[in-house]
């Protein structure tokens, strides 16, 4: 029987199935990347809700696994060398799971690096820029009188959507015919931008027809539908 009791995070979120990968998350655009990937791979896992309403991400137990106080984070009892592995940062977790299962990442070196390149494009560009746009369009920043910060993120988000749209013009998925972790990283953020952040009109989303087409294919996948609501909100 696997013993995860030396990990303080299991004191707040006890593992009912310590032999399964433990997911600490909330269904946000970064959180669902990992739940979607886990649903896609079929790896057995146990989800735990990290509630922002009760500031769970700031608890000492959560910080013991991710000192950066952000979801998602995982604890895999069966990591490299058969030892437990704790990981945070959604991009690193996606890569780890792709390599662990041999799924959703090309096996050839060039394809692998190009997939990583698009994951980095999401992690360094789409995520932070769309996130700031959400802040200035929907949350506290919307009341700021000075609209220059908002406009900066609108313009940068449009530019990034343009790059993605052009790339997708003759491709079914970011890496062509293969659905990969680059899609799993990217499309939850596109969905969130035009959904929860209500910024579709602001960024002129109707002009990005290729992005819209791939988003539609993405959300039609059963694993995506399932992953979007995991962990269940309390």
Residues contributing to the site for ligand GSH (CB under 6 A): 28-30, 52, 57, 69-72, 89-91
Pick the closer one to ligand GSH by CB: 124 or 176.
124
Q: Which residue in 138, 131, 124, 112 sits closest to 198, CA to CA?
A: 138
Residues whose CB is less than 8 angstroms from the CB of residue 170 and which lie 6 or more positions away in sequence, other chains included: none
Alpha-carbon torsion angle 199, 205, 210, 212, nearest 10 = 50
Residue 221 burial (CB < 10 Å; 0-12/13-18/19+)? middle
Residues whose CB is less than 8 angstroms from the CB of residue 174 and which lie 6 or more positions away in sequence, other chains included: 115, 118, 164, 167, 168, 180, 182, 183, 186, 214
Pick the closer one to ligand GSH by CB: 18 or 230.
230
Pick the closer one to ligand GSH by CB: 18 or 27.
27
Pick the closer one to ligand GSH by CB: 72 or 77.
72
CB of 57 to ligand GSH, least distance (A): 5
CB of 207 to ligand GSH, least distance (A): 26
CB of 53 to ligand GSH, least distance (A): 12
Pick the closer one to ligand GSH by CB: 88 or 208.
88
Q: Is 91 helix (H, G, I), strand (E, B) or coil?
A: helix
Q: Is 86 helix (H, G, I), strand (E, B) or coil?
A: strand
CB of 169 to ligand GSH, least distance (A): 27
Residues whose CB is less than 8 angstroms from the CB of residue 145 and which lie 6 or more positions away in sequence, other chains included: none
CB of 3 to ligand GSH, least distance (A): 27
């Amino acid at each position: 029987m696997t013993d995860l009791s030396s990990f303080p995070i299991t004191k707040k979120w006890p593992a009912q199935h310590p032999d399964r990968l433990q997911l600490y998350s909330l269904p946000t655009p970064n959180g669902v990347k990992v739940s979607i990937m886990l649903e896609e791979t079929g790896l057995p896992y146990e989800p735990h809700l990290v509630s922002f309403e009760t500031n769970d991400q700031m608890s000492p137990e959560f910080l013991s696994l991710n000192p950066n106080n952000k979801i998602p984070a995982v604890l895999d009892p069966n990591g490299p060398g058969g030892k437990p592995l704790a990981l945070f940062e959604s991009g690193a977790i996606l890569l780890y799971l792709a390599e662990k299962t041999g799924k959703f990442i090309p096996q050839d070196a060039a394809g692998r690096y190009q997939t990583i390149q698009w994951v980095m494009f999401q992690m360094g560009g789409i995520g932070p820029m769309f996130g700031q746009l959400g802040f200035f369009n929907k949350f506290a920043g919307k009341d700021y009188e000075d609209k220059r910060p908002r406009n900066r993120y609108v313009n940068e988000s449009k530019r990034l959507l343009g790059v993605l749209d052009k790339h997708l013009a003759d491709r079914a998925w970011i890496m062509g015919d293969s659905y990969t972790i680059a899609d799993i990283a990217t499309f939850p953020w596109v969905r969130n931008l035009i959904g929860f952040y209500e910024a579709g009109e602001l960024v002129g989303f109707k002009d990005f027809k290729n992005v819209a087409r791939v988003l539609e294919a993405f959300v039609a996948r059963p694993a995506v539908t399932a992953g979007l609501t995991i962990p269940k909100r309390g």
